Amino acid sequence: MKTIFHQAETRGHANHGWLDSYHTFSFAGYYEPSRIHFGALRVLNDDIVKGGFGFGRHPHDNMEIISIPLKGALAHADNTGGKGTIQAGEVQIMSAGTGVEHSEQNASRSDEVNFLQIWVFPKEKNIAPRYDQKKFEVSDRSNQWQTLVSPEKNEQSLWINQDAWFSRTALDANKKLTYQMHLPNQGAYVFVIDGSIAIGEQTLNKRDGLGISQTQSFEIIANSKADILVIEVPMQMN
């Protein structure tokens, strides 16, 4: 098993006043040659946006973009006329495909919104742009894996244009859970949203990340109550 550890404190950081953003991988003004991507995982941003602020309309193309609000709500709109709100507990995916322009704003005028924005390189380029979102119950990930995103078109998860799976679990202290890769030659990026866990000899605390490859499975042990996101992606792209 090969691993790469990214401690929370080593992430890129940019505080613009209205936006306080931490970058696991190189993004905007943060550039670190050793942290460009992990396989098909390109961006993992941990953003806090003040009430009444947000990202104005901007373009994307040929990228799978997943938004996971952890606290608060995001309002979004795009140039096709689509608009809506993503609440904490929901997940949104956007296949930018041939190109889309969209905006993301804090849905509240007073309260902060904290969300993860994650970019994954697509499997097929230049597909028609699309949005989808879904609510996921916390109880359904208690000490077990809850699939948020997958390449399988079903009602249980959101479809992604890549051989990628996003899985989340809420582990009680001292509980163990094994993660099994879905395909050969895949890697998994483990991101600790909250709490403390151990994978082998490596301890991960809040907002730490660990890239795992060259194995078909690994075990997570919760040192405390923990909220964990695992992003499984191809390690090599065409």
Domains and CATH numbers, the chain: 2-234 (2.60.120.10)
Q: What is the layout of strands, in order, in the sheet containing 158-159?
A: 2-6, 209-213, 186-194, 226-234, 165-171, 146-150, 158-159
Do the Cβ atoms of 87 and 126 come closer than 8 Å? Answer: no
**Between 161 and 78, whose confidence is greater?**
161
Percent of the chain whose pLDDT exceeds 90: 87
pLDDT of residue 42: 98
pLDDT of residue 20: 97
Closest by CA position to 5, among listed 216, 200, 237, 235: 200
How sure is the predictor about 71, in pLDDT bands with cuts at 50, 70 and 90? Answer: very high
What letter would DSSP give residue 107?
Answer: S
pTM higher than 0.85 for the full model? Answer: yes
Do the Cβ atoms of 156 and 145 come closer than 8 Å? Answer: no
pLDDT over threshold 90, residue 89: yes
pLDDT of residue 220: 98
pLDDT of residue 238: 67
Mean pLDDT within 54-70: 91
pLDDT of residue 78: 83
Say which residues have a Cβ less than 8 Å from residue 195's Cβ, sequence separation at least 6: 171, 205, 206, 222, 223, 224, 225, 226, 227, 228
Closest by CA position to 168, among listed 195, 146, 194: 146
